[in-house]
Amino acid sequence: MLNENLKAIRKSKGLSQQELAVKLNVVRQTISKWEQGLSVPDSDMLISISEALETPVSTLLGETVIESEADDLKAISAKLEVINLQLARRKTTGKRILHWFFIVLCIVTAVIFAALSALESPYLGWDYGDPETAVLGVAFHALEWLFVRAAPMILIGAVIGIFLTRKT
């Protein structure tokens, strides 16, 4: 089918095999082999042929492209509808993931806060004469101090996030 279409379109454009070969940077024998069906061009060359002959690749391959405008609009509308559904599904999934992230963040913050309250800073009773123990105790104290000050803001932000991402 390709070989017949290629020959017919080439002739309808008034090109010889040699002229088409020059446009495609191949030898004339290559065009002859394609038109006789002895070989076929690769996909890149098929695109080059299509451009040289100013003809769609689908026409070269024998596909009929004659469709009415209404069918085109229906096809485009159907594709857009599918894309819109996919985007809506992706948005809903992202919102659901974010919602659960905020819930988990609230729970983790509350659990850490409760654990720190229950432990009552045991590092304060450590012997700080040893430098390694002193560094470790200061690190624990800094983390606890930072968490106690940041936890309320994290908790409030997560609760607000839960309400903003809930299903409506």
Phi, psi of 78 (to 5 degrees): -65, -40
User: pLDDT grade, residue 70 (50/70/90)?
Assistant: low
**What is the residue whose two structure tokens read 């689908």?**
58
Kindly tell me if the per-residue pLDDT of 111 is higher than 90: yes
Other Cβ atoms within 10 Å of 89 Cβ, number: 10
With left for phi above 0 and alpha for psi between -120 and 50, is residue 82 left, alpha or beta?
A: alpha
pLDDT of residue 71: 64
pLDDT of residue 65: 40
Phi, psi of 164 (to 5 degrees): -75, -25
Other Cβ atoms within 10 Å of 106 Cβ, number: 18
Q: Which of 47-56, 100-109, 110-119 tops mean pLDDT?
A: 100-109
Kindly tell me if the per-residue pLDDT of 5 is higher than 90: no
pLDDT of residue 151: 93
pLDDT above 70 covers a percentage of the chain that reads 93
